[in-house]
Amino acid sequence: MRLCVLLLATTLPLSLVPAAAHAEETAEEQPERQYLPTEIVVTGARAGYEMQDGSSGTKTPTPIIRVPQAIAAITRDQLDDQNLRALNDALRFVPGVGIGSGEGHRDELFIRGQRTTADFYLDGLRDDAQYYRPLYNVERVEVLKGPNALIFGRGAGGGAINRVSKVAEPGRSGAGAAASIDTFGAFDISGDVSAALSDTAALRLNGIYEEFDNERDAFGGRFIGINPTVTAQLGERTRLSAGYTYDDDRRVTDRGLPPFAGRPLRGFDKTFFGDRDYNTSTLAAHILRARIDHRLSGSASANLAVQYADYDKYYGNIVPELALDTDADGRPDSVRLSGYDSATQRSNFIGQGNLVFTGATGAINHTLLLGAEFTRQDTDAQRNRVRFGTGQLTATVPLAGTIRVPAFGTETQLGSRSELEVVSAYVQDQVEITPWLEVIGGVRFDRFALDSVNTVTGFAARRAESRWSPRFGLILKPADTVSLYASYSESFLPASGDQFTVLSASSAVLEPEAFTSREIGIKWAPATNLLATAAVFRLDRSNTPATDAQGLTVLTGESRIEGAEFSLAGSVTRRLHLNVGYTYLDGEVRSATSAAPAGRRLPQVPEHQLGAWARYNFTDRLGLGFGVIHQSSQFASFTNAVMLPAYTRVDAAAFFQASDRLSFQVNVENLTDARYYPSAHNDINIQPGRPLHARVGVRLAY
């Protein structure tokens, strides 16, 4: 009911104004909002590596060159050329985004130095459960950098990841299939079928079956994904899109290897430091969503989207904590283990409505956004911890190629039930003062109500709070192909953390963490399908909880990230397509807390980060691909006690178009067989990179 009231309050007044003031305008005069993709690629046609749609950064039909924010994209063509199937593998090529190990069971990112497990979106709606997100049903991946609560709501302190879904397109039919296998034995089979039900309606079905394997001992699993969508044109002004996603993931929970003497343990990159039966992870995700777009007049349009998601997640793991030198000979000879398991059931309901109105006051043009959002999230979670032998929480075992885990049992450690309701409303105006000067400004209001119960201790708490989040940007347009911008934005994260599971006695009274970003940049389109961007930024984080000398939780934590980035994406020539980016980051703690003294470097923030991928087509049938990832050294945690060494990874690919319908490709990862350690979870778990391996794939299109 509250959602309906908010939607009526924000959309009804302006829906009447443009109809009277601009009745003479035609529908063609209003630019069509391209938030959901209208292009379906199942016939082998290539769209390239460049994205022109910037609507995810404004919720209005805005070209990316006019959005005062750094935005990177990985298009469907690039995903196919690199033969990628998992979100974290794709994001490794996006500088400014660090990939955490995610404890071997979930996506975990560091965006501009800010850790997150929840700032993920699907077609602009929050998808915050902890799991590995697939790419079989994705048209592109968008990386929006810098905090911006006006668009995304709470969190997104360093930015947000938005996946744009493949959808059915009325009047279009086609089919595609793909299969691949790598040198470890992992393989996948996928299909993409579209059928025109009529001139105004269409059905699309995407599906995949995948089996996992790699160089690590004991690793394996499988993934099943099914995603039907339907789109119907309900008259000239109204379009309805609906879809259902079922993702079923089962895999070994691999926590990597422990450190020794402040570095990754050497000589055990293939060793599995866990129990083959206990270290498992399962996920069943059901996501239903629908969206209706309606053109009210030539100058106003509205959309309403709803999403219901149900996530059933479990994982158990024996964890390697530290390699030990028990005989003091300078070499590791044993490893300390601990363990736990966790089960989470979550359901999310999200409703979001937006009204976009274009008009003018005299010579000044406006694009006005009014919107509202309602979220209901229910979560049940339980965690059990492992006790070895006669009851110890840790066990020390000999270090060997095969780790022998002692007998163990489990006991309840934590449990919680939580109910979260969020009601939001926002307004934003993009004001074109002159053809060369534009200002964007807006604010969002969020009202949170979180009820949680600790089912182990019985402690119950309720936290209700309200927050205002502003955004401001200035855009100079000296030419149609160039924009210079300056922006200021804020975001926040309530004290319950990004997963909103349970409140403690201390967190129930803490103010939210605050994120403040200042950014200036330039965007230049030297060619129709090529975009170059550069930006410098400063991101301040404050109100971070820490423990004082008396053991109390206080809001004294402050940190700062300063940096610069450059990117070039698109088609340099008809034959050369590339996506290249570089980011420089300098992050440090600015206040002394129990976690770290002032001046200490932030964790998993490499000073230099380069990601590059290019494809060159020598003929219409033959092409080659080349990729490079480079990261300088980085600390695994706030202790700065464990260092992940710098590394450079080189990839390559070859493409052969046998016919209009049949193509083959070979992708080689880590061509130089470099030894590297790209990610960690705190100081205790370090994930080794994969050695040299290849994947052979075939694609069919009809």
**Which structure tokens are listed for 237?**
């002004």
**Which structure tokens are listed for 246?**
């079922």
**Residue range 583-624, pLDDT digits in tens:** 999 999 998 887 788 999 999 999 999 999 999 999 999 999
Q: Which of 93-102, 341-350, 500-509 has the lowest mean pLDDT?
A: 500-509
pLDDT value for 415: 93
Among 358, 336, 351, 272, which residue's Cα sits nearest to residue 305? 351
Whether pLDDT at 340 is above 90: yes
CA 461 – CA 378 distance, rounded (Å): 15
**What are the φ/ψ torsions at residue 155 (nearest 5 degrees)?**
75, -145
pLDDT value for 462: 87
CA 551 – CA 3 distance, rounded (Å): 41
C-beta atoms surrounding 322 within 10 Å = 18
Per cent of the chain over pLDDT 90 is 82
Identify the CATH number of the domain in which residue 538 sits: 2.40.170.20
Per cent of the chain over pLDDT 70 is 91
Q: First-to-last CA distance in the chain?
A: 46
Q: Which of 31-45, 71-85, 251-265, 519-533 has the lowest mean pLDDT?
A: 31-45
Say how many domains are in the chain: 1
Residue with tokens 């200036």: 520
Amino acid type, 331: R
Whether pLDDT at 576 is above 60: yes
Which one has a higher pLDDT value, 503 or 79?
79
CB-based contact 316:301 (threshold 8 Å): no
Binned at pLDDT 50, 70 and 90, residue 34 comes out as: very low
Binned at pLDDT 50, 70 and 90, residue 546 comes out as: low
Question: How many helices and strands, by DSSP H and E, does the chain display?
Answer: 4, 37
Binned at pLDDT 50, 70 and 90, residue 156 comes out as: confident
**Which structure tokens are listed for 115?**
């850790």
**Which structure tokens are listed for 243?**
């879809």
What is the domain range of residue 424? 2-701
Amino acid type, 538: R
Distances (CA, A) of 578 to 55, 66, 78, 159: 23, 22, 9, 23
Distances (CA, A) of 348 to 160, 250, 287, 445: 18, 22, 9, 20
